[in-house]
Amino acid sequence: MLASIEADPLAFNQALAVIQNYSLLRRNGREQALSIHRLVQAVLADAMSEEEREQWRRRAIAALNMLFPSVRLQGWEQWEACSRLLPHVLSVAASTAPQAHSLELASLLTRAADYLSQRAQYEQAEPLYQRALSIGEQALGHEHPRVAFPLYGLADLYREQGRYAEAEPLYRRALHIWEQEPAQEYPEIADLLNSLAILDLEQGRYKQAEPLLQRALHLNEQLFGQNHSKVAACLNNLAGLYLEQGYRPQAESILQRALQLNEQMFGPEHPEVAFPLNGLADLYLAQGRYAEAEPLYQRALTIRSQRRGTQHLETADSLHGLARLHERRNQPEQALELSQQALRIREQHLGPEHPDTRETRACYAQLLRLCGRLEEAAALETASS
């Protein structure tokens, strides 16, 4: 009966109209989605045997696993779809027994955690990664290539939070697993190398970071060609390394190439474009080229605020850079609000002791002093000590 109705659009719409009249179901034409009233869901579930519930759980996991986007592959454009599907993922995960070893559930949890991590919702993402990892290890063993995906995601999450000692062994374990496979089977190995290099870079281990970045760049050029966003990401990080080491001409030419690549691939307003923009602004700030730095910071900030959100860590990076620029130009009042916004975001997502948070807090305290707000500056410095 249901199959015949579904095959006939008129009959399907008539049936839906009757059901909607009783408020049992809602239809969202824009999203092409149907939602069943919670009471109806509860009644249906209560009428099922445990065997039937388990059958529907497996079907729901399979459907969600097919539909939930991979933000690592498809990027921020899929955030809206992820946001819509996430409550269903969390619901089905909560109703599935902890000891269940469903590889489809592990895959789904990893992608949901990737989305949450990209949104800097680390507390929600971490247990999903951990559960996916546990399922994979128990079902496949500790050395299976699929186990490396939640390992890699969890390592990224820890690095973003400044938990470097926890991130590094997970990166290296995932790298060891994927190194046993052909690169074309798991091209994510280049991204992993890039992330491990960032870990070294953030800890000032420049000699360890450079060969990892060069290897990641070479792999991505081999796998995807020289004009690809993954190549641009490697170039951006390589430029950051050279900037930290004081190799400014090399950094500038690399950043300009990365900017050109990303603009050609994504257009001028894509979040990936903000990375080389912010990098070039940092470079020009270090060189005292303030007039060139400011529009780049502003453009990166606009892109990130609109595309990532006003409370995202990437937005905080641009706010902090722009605040430093105004401080250098002896404009403390303009810098103060920007620094305060950056500090609020970093404290929320990274905690008070993360190196980035401490850097922004020190900048904010200095700006308070420059604005004559000495008591506030002293109180902030006392709280930080």
Tell me, yes or no, whether 318 and 380 share the same domain. yes
Q: How many angstroms separate the CA atoms of 112 and 338, rounded? A: 32
Tell me, yes or no, whether 276 and 230 share the same domain. yes
Work out the mean pLDDT of the chain and round it to a whole number: 87
221-256 pLDDT, tens digit per residue, is: 998 888 888 898 899 999 999 988 999 999 999 999
Query: For residue 108, is it within any domain?
Result: no
What is the DSSP code (8-state) at residue 353? Answer: T
Instruction: Count CB neighbours of 238 within 10 A.
Output: 24
Per-residue confidence (pLDDT) for residue 32, from 0 to 100: 57
Query: For residue 213, is it within any domain?
Result: no
Higher pLDDT among residues 183 and 170, named by residue: 170
Tell me, yes or no, whether 337 and 282 share the same domain. no
- Distance, first Cα to last Cα, the chain: 71
Per-residue confidence (pLDDT) for residue 367, from 0 to 100: 94
130-165 pLDDT, tens digit per residue, is: 999 999 999 999 999 999 999 999 999 999 888 999
Tell me, yes or no, whether 286 and 320 share the same domain. no
Per-residue confidence (pLDDT) for residue 345, from 0 to 100: 94
Query: For residue 251, is it within any domain?
Result: yes
Per-residue confidence (pLDDT) for residue 249, from 0 to 100: 94
Q: How many angstroms separate the CA atoms of 189 and 209, rounded? A: 15
Q: How many angstroms separate the CA atoms of 278 and 282, rounded? A: 6
Higher pLDDT among residues 306 and 353, named by residue: 306
Per-residue confidence (pLDDT) for residue 73, from 0 to 100: 78
Q: How far out from the chain centre does Cα 10 lie?
A: 43
Q: Is the pLDDT of residue 33 over 60?
A: no
57-74 pLDDT, tens digit per residue, is: 888 899 999 999 988 877
Query: For residue 332, is it within any domain?
Result: yes
Query: For residue 339, is it within any domain?
Result: yes
Per-residue confidence (pLDDT) for residue 98, from 0 to 100: 73
Domain that holds residue 289: 226-296
Per-residue confidence (pLDDT) for residue 39, from 0 to 100: 59
What's the structural domain count of the chain?
Answer: 3
Structure tokens at 241: 């390394």
Q: CATH code at 277?
A: 1.25.40
User: Is residue 295 very low, low, confident or very high in pLDDT (cuts 50, 70, 90)?
Assistant: very high
Query: For residue 236, is it within any domain?
Result: yes
Q: Is the pLDDT of residue 356 over 70?
A: yes
Q: Is the pLDDT of residue 34 over 90?
A: no
b/e per residue, 211-229, with b = 16+ CB within 10 A?
ebbebbbebbbeeeeeeeb
Q: How many angstroms separate the CA atoms of 228 and 87, rounded? A: 34
Category of 36 on φ-ψ map: left (φ > 0), alpha (ψ -120 to 50) or beta: beta
Query: For residue 336, is it within any domain?
Result: yes
Tell me, yes or no, whether 253 and 279 share the same domain. yes
Least reliable range by pLDDT among 77-91, 316-330, 333-347: 77-91
Tell me, yes or no, whether 328 and 287 share the same domain. no
Query: For residue 274, is it within any domain?
Result: yes
Per-residue confidence (pLDDT) for residue 131, from 0 to 100: 96
Domain boundary among 31, 47, 63: 47
Q: pTM (2 decimals)? A: 0.78
| Helix (H), strand (E) counts: the chain | 20, 2
Tell me, yes or no, whether 292 and 318 share the same domain. no
Residue 174: CB partners within 8 Å, gap ≥ 6? 148, 151, 152, 155, 192
Tell me, yes or no, whether 288 and 320 share the same domain. no
Tell me, yes or no, whether 230 and 285 share the same domain. yes
Q: Is the pLDDT of residue 314 over 80?
A: yes
Q: How many angstroms separate the CA atoms of 346 and 172, rounded? A: 27
Here the contacts of 224-231 (C-beta below 8 Å, separation 24 or greater) are 224/187, 227/261, 227/264, 227/265, 228/261, 228/265, 229/261, 229/262, 229/265, 229/266, 229/272, 230/190, 230/191, 231/261
Structure tokens at 13: 């719409």
Structure tokens at 149: 């995906």
